[in-house]
Structure 1
């Protein structure tokens, strides 16, 4: 689908490199540019096996790895030469540093006016905080997410995964595709895309802005409850498992009462009326929780499915991998890796009917494609490459 598109991934860690990952899954030629000595720090993130980072193996799928020291003049010049042959260049370096290196958008546009440059930072490319270092945790805090997440009266809760990075990466990926469409279909120029780690997540929380702007509301932590529907929580079963439930539409909530045999509540306006039911969310939760506590997970799910209740088991990773629906869709695939052997990873998302994404290989060794890229793409000789490697440029 994206065959012929060349992407330079000059970023580190999660949000920006994930954009290149998504593009690579659908055919883009992604060249991952890494620091020569240790590579992208994400190689050392999370679980390791035999000294190899497992997260790296997935996030660098389909990418070609080259090494290059961006801090030296020769390295910076090589970046500009690579940009001549690229459609997209992805960075997450602080703006001031890129200007000092001569790798800011204006400098790259002078080399290739068609280049689409994506620059993901903590706070954005302008404003009083633009030069501060930023990470996903800070975006999760400042977006308002942590403030509304957690149990009532408990501290703000941060997610145990890269939420802000992931949301920003998806936002940035569609921004890149729009910029390319504008360039290639409408004859527009290349352009700079400015994405930070706060704005995309805040956009998903826009209902808090609307409530604050129009009603002066500042929502507080309420556990699993949400002030638009009841029931909405997780419930423990008799066999020690958990299920989650949503009553987001009036019909769904009434189905719950039928499923648990509480037909009396259907005739009680305090429970049948959506707004009045919200005021009694704790009572609704107690009614549902008491019933679920007497059933095994299987029994509860059978009853809920029979009444078309919106309920689902709370999975851990072993449950997720074993689920028959996900297995049918081929959500998890096995890819043979030269270093670690067969690895189960998630297949590309989304699904296309005629041009599905692929995982050709997992994360490569550091600098594995130096000769291939510098030789074939830039026309450098083996002696030139060896000299640059010996001097620490590569």
Structure 2
């Protein structure tokens, strides 16, 4: 195990989820991201992986010495246990593990757990106070429940892809797996609310467990602001508008003389007056027809053309300086290189330094959200496949010879 930012001499700070035991039956993004957040804030997360390779995320994107750098972050603070879930002895070990758990996080296709003999009825019999977080493409019910669904499908069906991009081009994706990440966050929120209810009804072993059913498409749809009521009341179908926000003007991306892309948000009434004064158009600041958002939006093409021209006549740094001094929300569009060197990021300790198995250090995102008294932390990076199998099974009462027999028989 490789510690991240703390030293052995420091006393570990209490975390809000200390003492919570979470079993993860998940691969790739949504389920593992949810349990990662729980692990960062103190939960003991036991990640169950297939012995023949484990989570595919171990090999996704850029690899360092054969292992994904993404894996080292996504699986931090987790214990890796290998169980061949096609083997009855492995299912027996999993049942023992679940009997003492607080939360199960799983993102199998609906029906898979039932085929393994782990239906919700069985899980409730094993552990009535268990909180079961189920993340899937389309949820546990409905005509599409059995269909496979990745984040891209959830983003499409949830409405996000339809409104992302420019009106004269096909829809585009956000540059990350945003659908999976949103679903994971809903999963964490649901788990914490369900645990609150369990504790209020008797706590671990006695309180009422329940199921948190998160569908990727619904998780994305829940973020779609006023799209549904606008359609239902006015028949309005929001479409792709590029970088502008129709109905909220001005807010757009502009290109400076040196090629930098600059975001300018001048859509507040007072902000708009400061913006137009700063770019040499005090007449617009004094124009009563532009005093509110409705008036500005009616003339948005004119306003955007003026801001475009002003930004294009200046280098990016000058645009940032002038508008910053005028107290107008402004930023260049950051690459990861910009992020890694930015003083605001550095001052807020948004990054932490972690250590790879060979001793090399690397920067990783620090745990979020930021808590003043019980912050999250990284205790170790993503583990080797099966690194904690023996430790966890011994904690369940298995002897060394029992574990050796399970391994020889193909259960591990």
For the aligned pair, the TM-score class normalised by the smaller chain equals over 0.9
| Displacement after TM superposition at 1:269 (Å) | 4.0
- The residue aligned with 1:84 is 99
Does the alignment pair 1:23 with 2:41? Answer: no
The 3 A distance-change label for structure 1 pair 136 and 122 is: same
- The residue aligned with 1:240 is 259
Q: Are the counterparts in 2 of residues 45 and 53 from structure 1 also a CA contact under 8 Å?
A: yes
Does the alignment pair 1:95 with 2:114? Answer: no
| Displacement after TM superposition at 1:332 (Å) | 0.4
Once superposed, what is the RMSD of the aligned Cα atoms?
A: 1.3
Query: For the residues of structure 1 that align with 2:411 and 2:272, how far apart are their CA atoms?
Result: 63
Instruction: Please give the secondary structure, in 2, of the residue aligned with 1:95.
Output: coil
| Displacement after TM superposition at 1:339 (Å) | 4.0
Q: Is 19-28 or 41-50 further displaced after alignment?
A: 41-50
Does the alignment pair 1:263 with 2:263? Answer: no
Q: TM-score, normalised by structure 2?
A: 0.93
Q: Are the counterparts in 1 of residues 272 and 285 from structure 2 also a CA contact under 8 Å?
A: no
- The residue aligned with 2:71 is 56
Instruction: Please give the secondary structure, in 1, of the residue aligned with 2:226.
Output: helix
Cα distance per residue 1:219-240 (max 9 Å; x no partner): 1211011123111111111222
Does the alignment pair 1:280 with 2:295? Answer: no
Q: Are the counterparts in 2 of residues 36 and 392 from structure 1 also a CA contact under 8 Å?
A: no
Choose which of 301, 309, 312 in structure 2 pairs with 1:293. 312
Query: For the residues of structure 1 that align with 2:269 and 2:99, how far apart are their CA atoms?
Result: 57
Query: For the residues of structure 2 that align with 1:43 and 1:300, how far apart are their CA atoms?
Result: 43
Query: For the residues of structure 2 that align with 1:133 and 1:202, how far apart are their CA atoms?
Result: 18
Query: For the residues of structure 2 that align with 1:73 and 1:348, how far apart are their CA atoms?
Result: 37
- The residue aligned with 1:228 is 247
Q: Are the counterparts in 1 of residues 98 and 127 from structure 2 also a CA contact under 8 Å?
A: yes
Give unmatched runs, 5+ long, in structure 2: 1-15
Q: Is 120-129 or 38-47 further displaced after alignment?
A: 38-47
Q: Is 130-139 or 257-266 further displaced after alignment?
A: 257-266
Query: For the residues of structure 2 that align with 1:338 and 1:101, how far apart are their CA atoms?
Result: 35
Cα distance per residue 1:339-374 (max 9 Å; x no partner): 462121011111111111100111000000111111
Query: For the residues of structure 1 that align with 2:272 and 2:335, how far apart are their CA atoms?
Result: 26
Instruction: Please give the secondary structure, in 2, of the residue aligned with 1:319.
Output: helix
Query: For the residues of structure 2 that align with 1:168 and 1:228, how far apart are their CA atoms?
Result: 28
Does the alignment pair 1:148 with 2:167? Answer: no
- The residue aligned with 2:409 is 391
- The residue aligned with 1:322 is 341
Q: Is 135-144 or 281-290 further displaced after alignment?
A: 281-290
Q: Are the counterparts in 2 of residues 144 and 205 from structure 1 also a CA contact under 8 Å?
A: yes
Choose which of 351, 360, 365 in structure 2 pairs with 1:346. 365
Q: TM-score, normalised by structure 1?
A: 0.97
Q: Are the counterparts in 1 of residues 155 and 217 from structure 2 also a CA contact under 8 Å?
A: yes
Instruction: Please give the secondary structure, in 2, of the residue aligned with 1:206.
Output: coil
Query: For the residues of structure 1 that align with 2:73 and 2:155, how far apart are their CA atoms?
Result: 23
- The residue aligned with 2:148 is 133
Choose which of 180, 185, 194 in structure 2 pairs with 1:170. 185
| Displacement after TM superposition at 1:14 (Å) | 0.5
| Displacement after TM superposition at 1:321 (Å) | 1.0
